[in-house]
Amino acid sequence: MSSVKTAALDALFNPRSVAIIGASAVAGKQGAAALRYLSQGGFPGAIYPVNPAGGEIDGLTCYARVSDIPGPVDCVLTVIPAAATLEALRECAAKGVRAAIIGANGFADLNTPEGHAREMELRDIARAHGMCVVGPNTNGIWNASGRLSLGYNTSHGDPMVAGPVSIVAHSGALFNSVAPCLRRFGALLSKFVPVGNEADLNMLDFFDYFIDDEATRVIGLIVEGLSDGDRFRSLAARARAAGKPVVALKLGRSQAGAGSALAHSSRLAGSARAYAALFAECGVVEVSTIEALAGAAALLSVRPAPSRSGDRGLVCVSTSGGGGSLLADQAADRGIPLAGSPDGTWGGQTARVIEGFTGAGLIRNPIDGGNLAGWKRLETLLTAIEADGHDGPLVMFSHMLPQETIDLVAADILIARRERTSLPLVVVAPGGLRPAIEAHYRDHGALVFPDLGSCFDSLHAWSRERAFETAAAAPPAAPPVGFAQDVRVAIAAALTPLAPGAFLSEAESARILANVGAPMVATTVVASPDEAAVAARGTGFPVVLKALAPGVAHKHDAGLVMLGLPDEQALRAAFTDLSRRVESLGAGDATIILQPMARGRAELILGSTYEEGIGHFLLLGLGGVNAELFNSTVLIPAFASDEALRALVGSSVAGQLIARVVPSHSQAALDGVVNTLIALRGLLQEFGDLIGSIDVNPLLVTDKGYIAVDALIVRR
């Protein structure tokens, strides 16, 4: 971030003086709430209410205009209508205000020419005078570290006790959900910024600022969409180097927006999968609920000592056998490992301690407290587990035990383990706890959850972050590819004239893909039944006929594909039938092509998709006509290295299918899939600005190798 922008953000978060334009003495108005919250939060600087009525509000002199304020003003909050905001911002610029928070909607959020023009003018005013702007259409900001509560959400009135978590959000109203959740888990906010329309400052500017902010230990992102995927990747790497975990909650995760996309690859990708792939690529932990965002931030705000053994599996304790089963099931559902052996047994010193427990029942992980024959034995057991190097969080499934004293004994043993190790202590109590016991847990740094779902979503986030933290350094990105000049010219000539969203025919798409190394089936254009017969005699029967009709992306759905034609008589009849179908569609200039009929042991889809703002991704999944029915796809960073591609392909559903259906040459088949993805990657490296999506569907895995029998390239 530039020093100028950093200085402007410092003026935003740590102003010496603040003006509230639209301040009011009328209870219930946003201007009244904002003024009250700022004062009661203990802001140490000068506060200037601004309202044309003048006078006095809450003992403070109220000025009719910003220009009337006698001293300098670092930051303003406007709570006035959009129509009055631009003139107020001009006055602020003339006054030398360095930062402005614009509360009004009525700008680009209207999605009207007037609204967009108003927002552009706002941006021009700010940038012409070196002023930074949050919003418009925002609820204000929160900086507990600087005792600055400058907004009008209900949570702006919360006590200003600074915590280690800073969050930037595309939804300001969620402040009222995030802040109470964090308080319940004992991890308070340092800063919260709802960015609104991002006319000037955007989410990535605040992400950048939080990385260098000494008060921030965990960064939260509540994301609708990002504008610069490359910058996000760079910032995520910088946050990782700074030791600051990043937790992201993606809003708008449904695939409704992808439903009309031409390419299967785009429909299968969807915004949710694209962002999930981006977050995984960048080592950013993704969650799906506010509760998990708060729980994950709370867990990650305390940094445990480095693991000695690398075993950070969960140590589970329960007040009942059924509760223990639920803990194990929830962990398994999310792929969270348990400490110890996969079958739940303990080894080492732990096993020896268990052998010495006379009268005890079966003791595994999860540990059923009822089988210990006395809760005090738990302390000895946990000490042995630590000695064996099990350094994961402890999760306790609890209900109210018969006596509060027994509850307290168990709680103190678990709390002592947390204090010895600094490892997270998580208590899940669907039926609730005695108030005194719950308070005791919270007072000693335990996270108490009322439900299993949010508890284990939070633990999964913790586990993911630990995996990101200990993962080997990412292999270098793929080197640039160099196509022959004639290939480059031919591809550019095919793609450049296309209108945005238009597509190349199968024959044109296949020609490009074959030129860059994809294994495309041989294709012959045939203009008559006689030409078809000659071509078929050359390839051998059975064959396939397809009609490439302008404007028809999916030939099979339109009835323009004739499969498995066994002989010349069937071929001639099919050609005549296909010609009639083309004529009925009004596509007189359609092209008919012939291909040898290929059969495979598995059908895959390979391709690429482009997500606005964050870029290209490669795609791999189960394919054929049922690609969207199976929808078992994985998105891969578009420019991942060969090594990363091999790892991702091998672990995918498609990779597992290949290993099952062609076990004798599964490695060769997997290599073929990787090589095809490498070909697509090279095409994106050279022509990504022209390509919106690519389908290779299906890619057939056969006993002899692999072959692609259909292709589609859509213009970006």
Question: DSSP secondary structure string, 342-390?
Answer: TTS---HHHHHHHHT-TT-----SSEEGGGGTSTTHHHHHHHHHHHTTB
* CA distances from residue 566 to 257, 385, 520, 560, 594 in whole angstroms, order as listed: 42, 68, 22, 18, 13
Amino acid 230 reads D
pLDDT for 703 equals 84
Q: What is the mean pLDDT of residues 682-699?
A: 94
Query: Is 33 in contact with 156 (CB distance < 8 Å)?
Result: yes
What integer best gives the mean pLDDT of the chain?
A: 92
- pLDDT, residue 247, reads 98
Q: How many residues make up the chain in this entry?
A: 716
Residue 201 confidence (pLDDT): 96
Tell me the C-alpha distance between 246 and 285, whole Å: 6
Q: Say whether pLDDT at 1 is over 60.
A: yes
Is residue 205 predicted with pLDDT exceeding 90? yes
Residue that wins the pLDDT comparison between 479 and 398 = 398
pLDDT at 585: 84
Fold that domain 302-470 belongs to in CATH: Rossmann fold (3.40.50)
| Confidence category of residue 299, pLDDT binned at 50, 70, 90 | very high
How far does Cα 373 stand from its chain's mean position? 46
State whether residue 655 is helix, strand or coil.
helix
Is residue 266 over pLDDT 70? no
DSSP 483-526: --HHHHHHHHHHHTTSPTT-B--HHHHHHHHHHTT--BPP-EE-
- The C-alpha atoms of residue 426 and residue 447 are separated, in whole angstroms, by 5
Residues linked to residue 189 through DSSP beta bridges, in sequence order: 165
Higher pLDDT, 519 or 705: 519
pLDDT class of 257 with cuts at 50, 70, 90: very low
* pLDDT of amino acid 262: 60
Q: How far is CA 49 from CA 17, 33, 39, 131, 336, in A?
A: 11, 12, 11, 20, 53
Lowest mean pLDDT among 21-35, 428-442, 469-483, 573-587: 469-483
* pLDDT for res 469: 83
Tell me if 3-231+250-255+262-270 shares its fold with 302-470. yes
Bridge partners (DSSP) of residue 314 are 338
Nearest alpha-carbon partner for 606 in 683, 550, 543 = 683
Res. 191 pLDDT band, cuts 50 70 90: very high
Residue 12 predicted with pLDDT over 70: yes
631 pLDDT exceeds 90? no
Residue 305 pLDDT grade (very low, low, confident, very high; cuts 50, 70, 90): low
Q: Are 449 and 428 in contact (CB under 8 A)?
A: yes
Q: Is the pLDDT of residue 438 over 50?
A: yes
Give the residue, 157 or 481, on which the prediction is more confident: 157
Q: CA dihedral defined by 616, 620, 621, 627, rounded to 10 degrees? A: 50
> Average of pLDDT values for 106-129?
95
Tokens 């099979």 belong to residue: 556
CA distances from 525 to 150, 544, 568, 711, 716 (A): 69, 12, 17, 15, 27
Residue 434 has pLDDT above 50, yes or no: yes
Provide the pLDDT for residue 306.
Answer: 55
- With a cut of 70, say whether residue 259 has pLDDT above it: no
Class of domain 602-715: alpha beta
CA pair distance 312, 336, nearest whole angstrom: 10
Structure tokens at 237: 């790497």
Rounded Cα gap, residues 576 and 130, in angstroms: 71
Residue, of 559 and 664, whose pLDDT is higher? 559
pLDDT at 474: 64
| pLDDT band at 530; cut points 50, 70, 90 | very high
Mention every residue, 6+ apart, whose C-beta is less than 8 A from residue 14: 143, 146, 148
624 confidence band (pLDDT: 50, 70, 90): confident
CATH 3.50.50.60, applies to 522-597: no
Secondary-structure class of domain 3-231+250-255+262-270 per CATH: alpha beta
Q: How far is CA 96 from the centre of its chain?
A: 39
Backbone angles phi, psi at 312, to 5 degrees: -110, 30
- Beta strands 99-102 and 75-78 are parallel
> In the chain, what are the domain boundaries?
3-231+250-255+262-270, 302-470, 522-597, 602-715
Tell which wins on pLDDT, 322 or 554.
322
pLDDT the model gives residue 478: 78
Q: pLDDT tens for residues 581-597?
A: 998 887 668 899 999 99
Q: What is the per-residue pLDDT for 333? A: 97
Q: Find tokens 């090594």 and name the residue.
A: 643
Q: What is the pLDDT of residue 430?
A: 96
Q: What is the mean pLDDT of residues 348-367?
A: 95
